Structure 1
């Protein structure tokens, strides 16, 4: 199956794009967030300084991963009107 880029990102649901300072895909994540916003999608972008890729999954070893978790929870609550 060949995947093709979407012709437009308009109409997508609100998005939270999170990356970290030392993430190999940081620039791509920031560009994607900018493309979503340019298409009129309500978009929030968060780059957490001082952390590495996959920090979210290292909560037992990296206490600051809680910052990412908290950002996700706040975004979901706002998106659901809670």
Structure 2
């Protein structure tokens, strides 16, 4: 069974008009290296995310994707020919 978003159009500010069901927004965000942050920075990031969650007045769907990146291969330098 396929579910489709009942979009009626895009509103001027970029929101998706869902008719009687309201509006939807799509956001693409980049990663935040939480583990590499200082404890103070981690506290701030967690607080900001908490404030965003608290501000929501309706349901939210969050999609998180994680992909392993292929390590870069280093080119080996060929040994220089011996000078005579």
TM-score (norm 1): 0.29
The structure with more helix, counted as a fraction of residues: 1
More RCO (CA 8 Å, sep 6+): 1
TM-score (norm 2): 0.29
The structure with more strand, counted as a fraction of residues: 1
Give 1 or 2 for the bigger CA radius of gyration.
2
